[in-house]
Chain A
Amino acid sequence: MDKFKSMLTKPWMSYLVALLAMGGAALTVSVVPRSLFAFLFFIGSVLLVYYLPLSTKAKLFFVLIGTLVLMPIIGSFNLYYMNVATQVGIYVALALGLNIVVGFAGLLDLGYVAFYATGAYIYAIFASDQAGNFIHFAKFPLAGEWFWVFLPLSLLAAGITGILLGLPALRLRGDYLAIVTLGFGEIIRIIFNNLDKPVNITNGPKGITPIQPPALFGFTLNKPIYYYFIVMGIVFFVIFVTRRLEHSRIGRAWAAIREDEVAARAMGIPLLRTKLMAFAIGASFAGMMGVVFAAKQTFIDPSSFTFMESIGVLAMVILGGMGSIPGAIVGATAVVMLQSQVLKSFSEFLAQLRDSGILNIPTQLEPAKFERLVFGLILVVMMIFRPQGLIPAKRREMELLEEKADRPAKGEES
């Protein structure tokens, strides 16, 4: 990468490379329908622009053109890419949120999806007739315009949930935190699953449907392209906030806590408050995305918010690199593609083989049902061979390599 960078001696060369990459990617995506690689090429070109020696403004320009102009145009005549991009966008925001907790502050949160569920349920209950079961002075479902109110509202609600959970949990040692958050994630799911009595709030395992799509000035936004723009808007908001946080006072405090809690404390960093901040901010991103998820799906039930979902987001962060913003984006893209595209098409391929009688594989061995194995392998292999992730954060990489170097020689014990 550096070698390549040094070849770009003049600024116009960088612009040319960026133009070529973005243009080429856009062309490929628009020519090839439903291709995984074309989509990856597109994401790759955005990433390339990120690494080019250009001014921030120029980079921003290229990225905005790519995501807000090219992609919607391509997507409007090829819905496949639009849906994949929206899906990826949702998980990018989730991964960035979890990245603050796991990557920046070094706290392992295994119940992250609970906050996502909180946001989704808050919107779903009020944007369907569910709320009518316990609130009688207003008419439900609320109009689609309320979507915009619920975005910040659920951001706040999820943040507060994060603080309430964090207050007891963050006093504990790090490894207990993982288990407590895991337990909390399960509790939330069980509660949503059973809160159809005595008062029917969540409609239990049957789930809530239909949920109002968002609307703006009486105009209903229920087409994929509108969701794409909403998701992108949130993703840019989240990226902006995360970038600003990373090197801020609080961001440096997180890094200090992550590296050495005792030393950080000695330097006067209030441990609980700083950790709570990470927890609440990460949670609030998930809460906000939950609203979009509920609106986009128009149906939610507790089975969308299982432990697997939390582990999936964790796998994205780990794969991309803990504490790395571009890493979280790449990780989210890779895992979503793997989950919703690669495994599925592999299953379809095997099903074809079965139908044509070439190979007889029982349906329960379909690769699409082996997500756990894939996530598990990602986690173990990354931890052993590349704990800093695919696109490491500079500081985090140094930390991890330093720890490795400090390790005593084989056979000795610390």
Chain B
Amino acid sequence: MSRKISMKQAINEALDLEMRRDPTVIVMGEDIVGGTGAKGEDDAWGGVLGVTKGLYAKHGDRLMDTPLSESAYIGAAIGAAACGLRPVAELMFLDFMGVCFDQIFNQAAKFRYMFGGKAETPVVIRGMVGAGFRAAAQHSQMLTPLFTHIPGLKVVCPSNAYDAKGLLIQSIRDNDPVIFCEHKNLYGLECEVPAESYAIPFGEANVLRDGDDVTIVSYGLTVHRAMEAATALAKDGTEAEVIDLRTLSPIDWDTIVESVERTGRLVVVDEAHPRCNLATDIAAFVGQNAFGALKAGIQMVTAPHTPVPFAPSLEDLYVPSADSIASAVKRTLSPKGASPRIAA
């Protein structure tokens, strides 16, 4: 049976179902049970925004409040994964990952490779990403490109409740370390979600809208801005295909390239900073592998190369908007946007 629930509820439900299915699944993190001084009853916090609320009552000590030391408990989760458990560690704000880079980048991501495939590290590190929450520069970043850069990590960033549940279940069942990025401004967004368990395979983008004029690729919150832009553009007769990547590593190159080969135009939208991000990555890949299909220069729409501002008026300008995406689409359609033709 399917019903409407929020992305926050969908994540909670995925954790609950997987803990019921597999006794090796444990959940740990700061305040994920009850918070400071609380005992973990139903009315306790269940995480800073309540994502894990209610799970302690169902699964008891398989949920653990940890000390405020990311380097310690992320290391513990990775060690537990190497020893046969399937920990889901909540890093609260993924901005805090800096203090546990060694555990994640240099240990978890390397075990399978360095031990000749004999070691598996089925850990999920989940937490919040993204701006627009008035949480200032240290709690608002979209660091997805950093994680995507590291071989050995899988990186997931859902845009809706249905995908969040299926991708988190897949993340828990996956035998490699997964960085699961939850956009905090999507937590309240509801959609139809089956009550049953289901897993969405990694590396399979979702095509949200069909169109023949331009391809818009994005992930996370800005998928919704891209859809708004596409709806607005359709009124002027421009039909945009909108692709939601769902997973950044692995990435679904086939769906992107097949779409661009049909539309001939590409706009890539990334909430991350403009240098070395998913937009530059995808633009480069398409430029290298599908140049002949392009009718215009590739356009990138990203956040600016600054920290996320705390002033609400500036923060609102920071995240790519539907207007900025629509403008980028129009640039690909204007004669000036056309790439130089090479005479055959």
Q: Do A and B bind each other?
A: no
